[in-house]
Structure 1
Amino acid sequence: MLTIALEQAHFHAYHGFFPEETIIGNEFVLDIYVRIPGTVPIDDLSETVNYQGIYEVAKAVMAIPKPLLEEVVYAITDQLKSRYPGITHSNVILRKLNPPMGASIRNSMVSLEKDY
């Protein structure tokens, strides 16, 4: 297997259950890992998953506010698989920095790992 990834992609987005989160927004950090069969050498971009394409999918999904982070990671995995049918495995990790909980918490996190 060959793994292609984006790590620590930062976004300001408006995901959240509470109304103030959809107004003020928050900082998010996204890690995305995808796997494709890697049994032969790859010498052309069309034979792999372009990490620029991964970022484009993430940016588009992050721009659409969702009440639950679970919705965001599912949307990212669905769109990645649609854009890159050769993906056999994905892991999307989304962190919300300083979640508004009235406590000192570095981040909340939702992770979705899928085999296709």
Structure 2
Amino acid sequence: MLTIALEQVAFRAYHGYYPEETIIGNDFMLDITVRIPGTVVVDDLAETVNYQGLYDIAKVVMATPKPLLEEVVYEMTAVLKERYPAIQHSIVTLRKLNPPMGASIRNSLVSLAKDY
């Protein structure tokens, strides 16, 4: 298997259960890892997953506010598979930095691993 990934992609987005999160927003870090069959050398971008394409998908999904981070990662995996049918496995991890919980917390995290 060939692994293609983006790690620690920073976004300012408006996901959150509480109304103030949809107004003031939060900082997020996103990791996307995908695996495709990879038993021969890839020498053409059309034979792989373009990580610019991964970013473009992430940017669109992150721009649409959702109340739950679980919704965000599920949508992201669905769009990844639709755009890149060769994907056989994906892991999408979304961290909300400094979640508004009244305590010093580095981040909350939701991660979804899928086999297709």
Normalized against structure 2, the TM-score is what? 1.00
* Mapped partners of 1:6, 1:19: distance in 2: 30
Segments of structure 2 that go 5 or more residues without pairing to the other structure are none
> Which residue does the alignment assign to 1:40?
40
* Mapped partners of 1:21, 1:27: distance in 2: 10
> Which residue does the alignment assign to 1:108?
108
Question: Could you tell me how far 1:17 is from its partner in structure 2?
Answer: 0.1
Question: Could you tell me how far 1:114 is from its partner in structure 2?
Answer: 0.2
> Which residue does the alignment assign to 2:84?
84
Give the secondary structure class of the aligned counterpart of 1:104.
coil
Verify: 1:98 aligned to 2:98, yes or no: yes
* Mapped partners of 2:23, 2:74: distance in 1: 23
* Mapped partners of 1:43, 1:101: distance in 2: 48
* Mapped partners of 1:51, 1:44: distance in 2: 13
Question: Could you tell me how far 1:87 is from its partner in structure 2?
Answer: 0.1
Output one character per residue of 1:8-34: Cα deviation in whole Å (capped at 9) or x when no partner: 000000000000000000000000000
Overall identity of the aligned pairs, in %: 77
* Mapped partners of 1:74, 1:4: distance in 2: 19
Number of equivalenced pairs: 116
> Which residue does the alignment assign to 1:16?
16
* Mapped partners of 1:43, 1:106: distance in 2: 40
* Mapped partners of 1:32, 1:61: distance in 2: 13
Question: Could you tell me how far 1:103 is from its partner in structure 2?
Answer: 0.5
Segments of structure 1 that go 5 or more residues without pairing to the other structure are none
| Runs of 4+ that moved beyond 3 A | none
RMSD (Å), alpha carbons: 0.2
